[in-house]
A and B are shown apart, each in its own frame.
Chain A
Amino acid sequence: MSDSTARPRGKTKWLLSANAVAVYLFFYAPIILLFVFSFSDNRNVGTWGGFTLGWYRDFADNEPIQDAIWVSLRVAFITTVVSVVLGTMAALALERFKFRGQRVFDALLYLPIIIPDVTMAVMMLLFFSQGLDIVNGLFGTQAGKGLTTITLSHIAFCISFVSVVVRARLNGMDDRLEEAALDLYATRWKTFRHVTLPLIAPGVAGGALLALTLSLDDVVVTQFAAGPGSTTLPVYVFGLIRRGVTPLINAVSVVMLAASILLVLLSVLLQRRGDNAPAAPAVPAGEQPSVNTINQ
């Protein structure tokens, strides 16, 4: 691969690398600002007031924010898992099969992406309030809106995003490999697990990342689907802007980012360990289809 002419070289390589660096700088510019001002001894973000660790101390003492973070994480985790499974299944069904009602399904799958945030929020509010009435009436329970309703709403729109990403990966992908596996007596499940899944893994991973991000960041839909005691972090911060966003939120963000980066590094380390272990021969993961496919 390293001497393939497909890898950019010379002027192109320089341009592409510069572009990549610029993009990363662009992405991290606000993060750097966030980081710097989390140590500023001034209530206004943007006015430097001398170095302090006070905001981090505040964070450690601030229970409402910690509760909100915890709620956000729980919701995001469940949302990601469920929507990745359902979204990938949806993508597979649409790309690899033909069945009646496929078009309707396809359209339905795009709706959550198309619909404006606030409309979805209002929709979910009405639906849950009335749905809960019915459920409470039927079962005599006293259920209210809360974590469950938030998670259900998040899954509803994440499924679509995951499926779009996975489909972009699947579409046009040579399904002869899967056919070949089936011809060679692999069961459908085995084919999926050992052939399809590794091939679509980047798409699935991308979809999962997207779902996680969308769930962690959602404000409007969450606001309306939430109930008492189930405030997520974004909703909490949204409520704070009236009284001014202080560097406390910066400190919170920095801590969360640090935690995510640590997690990522950890998983990379673990993967390295896994790579160094004796590998099972027949099932390489994530490799591109080899050059042989051109000849077919």
Chain B
Amino acid sequence: MTIAEAPAPPPEAVDDEPIVEVAAATPEFERAAAKAESRRGFLIALPAYGYLVLFFAIPLVIVAIYSFGTRNRFGDTELSGWNLDAYRKLTEPLLRDILFRSLWLAILTTVICLVVAYPFAYFLATRTPTIRNIMLVFVMIPFWSNFLVRNFAWRVILGTDGPLSTATSAVGLGDTRILFTPTAVVLGLVYGFLPFMILPLYAAIERIDLGLVEASRDLYASGWQTFRRVLLPLSMPGVIAGSILVFIPSLGAYVTPEILGGAKSTLLGSYIVTQFLTARNWPVGASLSFTLTVIMLFATILYFRKGGRTL
């Protein structure tokens, strides 16, 4: 909305008497105004804040407390006698392998998602509004089917006698069996998390004044240069948001690796689930979750600082 289209000031203001007392911009006034702003901000944040404190922070505290407990004979957690055993267990070499494997997978997934989603989001952002919205919704629609069912569908597609294999044999590439390999896991994860990358990217790119891109092109910059120097920096908030929304959940993913990867190597997510469920070892499940959460929180904060945003 341009300034020219803004509503005109109320006619009475043209009269001799101003409607609003123009207060002198004294320091006290500035401070009071700043305080009022601050309070308003706090109030607006309050509902979400309160909700999260009640329904998230408190449960989290409970789990943190469990991480100091001990697993007794029967798999229950004894809360008396707090100790750090559960945390000590995290330093075992087994955990190190699991961690690196999961990190690698998550990074790979995020990078692939970014590379695929960015051009897609840009393309989307340069369509007309109606088409844009339709296309966006059609991105989400497949994900309103059931998550498990989608994974099972991929299992069929990637299987030994599946459509993919049949297709590649027909073309003469021999039959491929991607199922139960790490490739299948990456494919499944990328599939599951691509929308999480597309949405924030789209939101950020769409906001960019494409006149800037025009200007850059008019000044003889190549497409790549325009991307690197103009688009990317301006859409950075979207890149960061998308990366976080993809990286972190893929770090803890366990259903897709199990269904498409055959559970042949253990990832962080499966390990945590195993501790809570199969091994009924809540202290370790809690300690690992808690540690992971804290580390990721710090990493997120650092990532934001680097991206130039405040956190």
The residue in chain A whose Cβ has the minimal distance to the Cβ of B140 is A209
Q: Are A93 and B45 in contact (CB under 8 A)?
A: yes
Specify which chain A residues have a CB less than 8 angstroms from the CB of B163 in the assembled complex.
33
Chain A 254-296 interface 0/1 with B at a Cβ cutoff of 8 Å (1 = within): 0011001100100010011000000001111011111111100
Give the B interface residue count (CB, 8 A): 120
The answer to whether B38 has its CB under 8 Å from any CB of chain A is yes
Query: Is B217 engaged at the interface, CB distance under 8 Å to the other chain?
Result: yes
Range, interface on chain A: 35 or more
User: How far does the alpha carbon of A272 sit from the alpha carbon of B215 in the complex, in Å?
Assistant: 33
Residue numbers in B under 8 Å from A271 (CB-CB): 130
Q: Is B7 within 8 A of A282, CB to CB?
A: yes
Complexed CA–CA distance, A141 and B5 (Å): 58
Contacts of A87 in B (CB 8 A): 48
Majority secondary structure of chain B interface residues (helix, strand, loop or mixed): helix
* Binary A-proximity of B180-208 (CB < 8 A = 1, otherwise 0): 00000000000100111001101110110
B146 within 8 A of A: yes
Q: Is B136 a contact of A206 with CB atoms below 8 Å?
A: yes
Check if A59 is an interface residue, CB within 8 A of chain B: no
Contacts beyond the supplied A19-B120, A101-B42, A156-B55: 19 A-B pairs with Cβ under 8 Å: A30-B153, A30-B154, A34-B145, A93-B44, A93-B48, A102-B45, A113-B248, A118-B285, A119-B286, A120-B59, A164-B241, A169-B203, A195-B1, A202-B203, A202-B207, A237-B146, A272-B130, A284-B1, A294-B209
7 nearest CB pairs, A to B: A97-B41, A93-B45, A30-B153, A119-B289, A6-B210, A123-B59, A90-B48
| 14 pairs, CB–CB < 8 Å, chain A vs chain B | A16-B119, A24-B139, A31-B145, A89-B47, A90-B45, A97-B42, A101-B42, A117-B252, A118-B272, A165-B200, A168-B200, A169-B203, A257-B142, A293-B209
Query: Which chain B residues have a beta carbon within 8 Å of chain A's beta carbons?
Result: 1-3, 5-7, 9-10, 37-42, 44-45, 47-49, 51-53, 55-60, 62-63, 66, 116, 119-120, 122-124, 126, 128-130, 133-134, 136-150, 152-157, 159, 162-163, 191, 194-196, 199-200, 202-204, 206-207, 209-215, 217-218, 223, 234, 237-238, 240-242, 244-245, 248-249, 252, 254-255, 268-269, 272-273, 276-277, 282, 285-286, 289-290, 292-293, 296-297, 300-301, 309, 311
